[in-house]
Structure 1
Amino acid sequence: MSLQRRVMLTFAAGAALVSLVLALSVYTVTRTYLTDQREQSVTRQANADAAFVDSRLRAPHAVPRTILEDLDPPTGTMALLRVDGRWHASEPGIGQDILPAELWPAGDVGFGTAAPVDIAGEPYLAVRHTLDAEVDFYEVAPLRELRSTLDVVHRVLVVCAVVATLGAALVGFWASRRLLRPLHQLASTAVQVADGDLDTRVPASRDRELTLIGDSVNRMVDSLQERIERERRFFGDVSHELRTPLTTLVTAVGVLNRYRDALPGRGDQALDLVETEVNHLHRLLEHLLALARAEAGLHQDEPETVSLGELLRNVLTDSGRPAELLTVRADTVVRGRKLALERAFVNLVDNADRHGGGLTGVTTGSDGARAVVFIDDSGPGVPEADRETIFERFTTGRSGRGATAGTGLGLALVAETLVAHGGDVRCVDRPGGGARMVVTLPAVAAEQDPP
């Protein structure tokens, strides 16, 4: 889950928890208060009605039913009277069976107790008043209005809690966007710097904390840019200083080769060793300079659309290999630096010849939106444990892969070049024996023109 969603959920969960606690507290306090008020009101009314009934019963020839009919209780309120064991009701069809057991006659003169009772699914409050040992007055008042009021309060509190939660989520969304906007700017700047745009800087902010972070990042980029400039100058100086003596050595070996017949046997062997090591040093220097140029961002050409079939055909013919080794299943087009891609494929075919027993074929095709190239050799293959380490710097193959020692940089340069182009390279077994280098690159439309 993203940070923005976590912030939103935190705000929403916090608001929901607070709203729940407040809603429960308000509902509990409101229900207790309204219930107490209603009970007091019913009790006062029952006391007044009990006093009226008591005074009428003391009159000679009092009739209990007539007394109940003369009562004027609130709407929906029912009254019952027990006199000498006989029950009388203010409404027909009701009797002592509607009363809760705790309010049945107890024999104590005076106000008894009040208890809730459910009649036909409706809430009521029953109050007992004992007038004497043989007379009990009951009044049963409805609580429908109280329940309706509490239901309204409950719905209002639920709606308020939901609205508060949604509002907090919106506030969290706004706050997270405001909080993450500078971080997105930092991330965008870091990505552009990582892609080589060292002139990108974090924009200024009005927030003091963010300004401190932005200034720190900008200072870091400034320092990085200065260091890269120093490395580029160092690269130029080193390349010049190394090329000059190496060129002299190559020239000297060439001169000695012209007089090889005049050399004694051991001198001839020594010249072979020197020539081999000079050539090895020359390849090593070329690879080192290529890696240094790639890391320093010093490219010899600009990105363009390249036909892989044409590029591979040129690689084979320019290196003196027969073009028949190439099989074009689909002439895919990629975008990249042509010279760097050529160097990468030259290293792969050279590796197949030097360390893989000889190049047997190059196949290019497509796999969905990606271009695929297979470089096959006829050697013993690469052990599975070494299939990733061979692309590391200064890693040379085991003796089983060939007798000629490599620089340990050719495949590393291939891997870095392909990664810089959005692709990759891996080593697998070739059907029928040998090793197969599988190169994948993002394909583009063949008709696309370079910008």
Structure 2
Amino acid sequence: MSNPDRVHPRLSTRLRGLRGRVMVAFIASASMVTLVLIASVYAISADYMQSQRERTVDRAVGVHAELLRWRLDDRHITGEQALAGLNLSTGTIAMLRWESRWSIVDADGGLPVVPPPVFDADQSDQGDSAAIRVTINGQPYLRASAPVDGSGDAVLYEFAPLLELESTLRMLRTILIACTVVALGIGAALGGWAAHHALSPLRQVARTASRIASGEQELRLAPSDDQDLSTTVESFNAMVDSLQHRIERERRLVSDLSHELRTPLTTLTTAATVLAKHRDELSERPRTALKLLLEETTYLRGLLDDMLALARVEAGIHRSDLAPLSVSELLNQIMSVHAIAPDVLRTHDPGLVRGRRLELERAIVNVLVNADRHGGGVTCVMVEREGADIVITIDDAGPGIPAADRERIFGRFVTASRSTAGTGIGLALVAETVTGHHGQIRCDENPGGGARFVMTLPAHEHVRHEIAK
């Protein structure tokens, strides 16, 4: 069962996005247009049906008044008898005021009781008022009147029921509300369709940028015939071309630096090594200077190697290609080469990652070396699968790292002290390598004491799925 606390924020985030805003705009536009049209249709229809009903009642009461005029010429007929001869519509009530008497009859044959508010004092004597809406026994009626004779002594009142008209208007309201719901649904569907197609070029740009970032630097967006998109496509391709040229320049710079720096450093190291072979021929002060020279050249060589490796990673220069790798096999090989006890490794065959073997091997070795130099040695290396990720956990036996420094240690030239022979580049190189493999690395507190480095890499099939999208 889904968790609503997770679904609602996700839905809220989608609605706040560009696609959500386009859909909301379509729905709002459809709502406004639909409401205006429906309100207009209902108002016009209701007014038309009301006016038609009023004209029908006015014509009917006029015709009945003419018929009564001929019948009332017979002095032997009563008002009820005269009204009974009228052909009244179903539910209609007829009332005749003649010779100061009221006669009442309805089409259903009953004699309804008409409340006094049905008549106004100033209109009951006129007999020519326009049709108005009244209520009799809680039911709506339309009252119309007409004089039976010219003297005004006889006036006919008819009450036409409005139940059918009210029922028709209710049905019309129901139909219009249903049309509103359908229109909103169509607006939402059109909004989703329009948003999907409007954002399709952006998704294509995102996929292309992701593939370029993963190493396909020759990839470009296809030219577009759409004038609104052609500028974006051209700008994107120009930007990628500029970045590629810059990367090529950085590659050449790294290559030149590697050659220019390694040659004098190799010469210096060779000279120091030759001098070291004649250490016994030197006095104490030159021997001390020679010792410092050997230490500094060793440190400088390690620093140069780490800096060049970091520069190659940042410039996108790789010594191996992306390929599916078994993390368990890679760790077994590393631990065997570096003489780490096999029982330290705990693996559950988590699967494969898509990476560069040499770079991942160097990153893991740097963490292991860091644990050996600063953390009292490696106590546990664990590999496990967590959803779409493969997690490598390395624990050491050292004093641990303060919470304030757990992010800082992945910066450049951050080291405990010069006495540890570290260059301060190792963990920065690890962070760059893991990030280049779409992963993450963090430093936590080891529950058993010491520091814990957690390296998270996406599984091989997850990487393929993301690239396919």
What residue is the counterpart of 2:441 in the other structure?
A: 425
Task: Tell me how far 1:56 sits from its aligned partner.
Answer: 3.8
Task: Tell me how far 1:69 sits from its aligned partner.
Answer: 2.5
What residue is the counterpart of 1:258 in the other structure?
A: 277
Q: Deviation string for 1:135-166 (max 9, x for gaps)?
A: 44221123345335434543443344344333
Task: Tell me how far 1:410 sits from its aligned partner.
Answer: 0.3
> What SS does the corresponding residue of 1:328 show, helix, strand or coil?
strand
From 220, 233, 238, the equivalent of 1:214 is 233
1:225-374 alignment runs, 5 A limit: 225-319=244-338, 321-323=339-341, 326-335=344-353, 336-356=355-375, 358-369=376-387, 370-374=389-393
* Pair 49,100 (structure 1): closer, same or farther in 2 beyond 3 Å: farther
1:154 to 2:173 alignment: yes
1:108 to 2:152 alignment: no
* Pair 393,76 (structure 1): closer, same or farther in 2 beyond 3 Å: same
Cα distance in 2 for partners of 1:56, 1:443 equals 102
1:40 to 2:87 alignment: no
Task: Tell me how far 1:101 sits from its aligned partner.
Answer: 2.9
CA contact (8 A) 1:376 1:430 kept: yes
Unaligned stretches of 5+ residues in structure 2: 1-13, 462-469
Cα distance in 2 for partners of 1:359, 1:403 equals 17
What residue is the counterpart of 2:7 in the other structure?
A: none
CA contact (8 A) 2:127 2:156 kept: no
Task: Tell me how far 1:281 sits from its aligned partner.
Answer: 1.0
* Fraction of identical pairs, as percent: 45
Q: Pick which of 329-338 and 262-271 moved more.
A: 329-338
What residue is the counterpart of 2:42 in the other structure?
A: 27
* Pair 194,79 (structure 1): closer, same or farther in 2 beyond 3 Å: same
Q: Deviation string for 1:78-116 (max 9, x for gaps)?
A: 312234554323344224526743357866344245332
Q: Deviation string for 1:182-221 (max 9, x for gaps)?
A: 2221122111122221111111222112011101111111
1:200 to 2:215 alignment: no
1:165-184 alignment runs, 5 A limit: 165-184=184-203
1:436 to 2:452 alignment: yes
Equivalent pairs counted in the alignment come to: 440
Cα distance in 1 for partners of 2:91, 2:328 equals 97
* Pair 245,375 (structure 1): closer, same or farther in 2 beyond 3 Å: same
Q: Pick which of 367-376 and 268-277 moved more.
A: 367-376
1:97 to 2:124 alignment: no
Cα distance in 1 for partners of 2:231, 2:134 equals 70
Q: Deviation string for 1:359-390 (max 9, x for gaps)?
A: 14342332445444443333322111101110
What residue is the counterpart of 1:9 in the other structure?
A: 24
Cα distance in 1 for partners of 2:147, 2:122 equals 8
What residue is the counterpart of 2:430 in the other structure?
A: 414
1:383 maps to amino acid: P
* Pair 161,310 (structure 1): closer, same or farther in 2 beyond 3 Å: closer
Cα distance in 2 for partners of 1:175, 1:425 equals 40
Q: With the length of structure 2 as denominator, give the TM-score of the two structures.
A: 0.83
> What SS does the corresponding residue of 1:291 show, helix, strand or coil?
helix
Cα distance in 2 for partners of 1:101, 1:295 equals 93
> What SS does the corresponding residue of 1:197 show, helix, strand or coil?
coil
CA contact (8 A) 1:84 1:134 kept: yes
Provide the alpha-carbon RMSD of the alignment: 3.0
CA contact (8 A) 2:129 2:145 kept: yes
Cα distance in 2 for partners of 1:414, 1:81 equals 105
Task: Tell me how far 1:246 sits from its aligned partner.
Answer: 1.0
1:114 maps to amino acid: A
1:427 maps to amino acid: C
Cα distance in 2 for partners of 1:372, 1:173 equals 38
Cα distance in 1 for partners of 2:126, 2:361 equals 114
Cα distance in 2 for partners of 1:41, 1:309 equals 92
* Pair 164,430 (structure 1): closer, same or farther in 2 beyond 3 Å: closer
Unaligned stretches of 5+ residues in structure 1: 446-451
Task: Tell me how far 1:225 sits from its aligned partner.
Answer: 1.3
CA contact (8 A) 1:87 1:95 kept: no
Cα distance in 2 for partners of 1:334, 1:410 equals 25
From 217, 224, 231, the equivalent of 2:243 is 224
What residue is the counterpart of 1:449 in the other structure?
A: none
What residue is the counterpart of 2:10 in the other structure?
A: none
Cα distance in 2 for partners of 1:333, 1:106 equals 95
1:410 maps to amino acid: G
CA contact (8 A) 1:382 1:435 kept: yes
Q: With the length of structure 1 as denominator, give the TM-score of the two structures.
A: 0.86
* Pair 222,83 (structure 1): closer, same or farther in 2 beyond 3 Å: same
What residue is the counterpart of 1:137 in the other structure?
A: 156
* Pair 46,104 (structure 1): closer, same or farther in 2 beyond 3 Å: farther
Cα distance in 2 for partners of 1:324, 1:30 equals 87
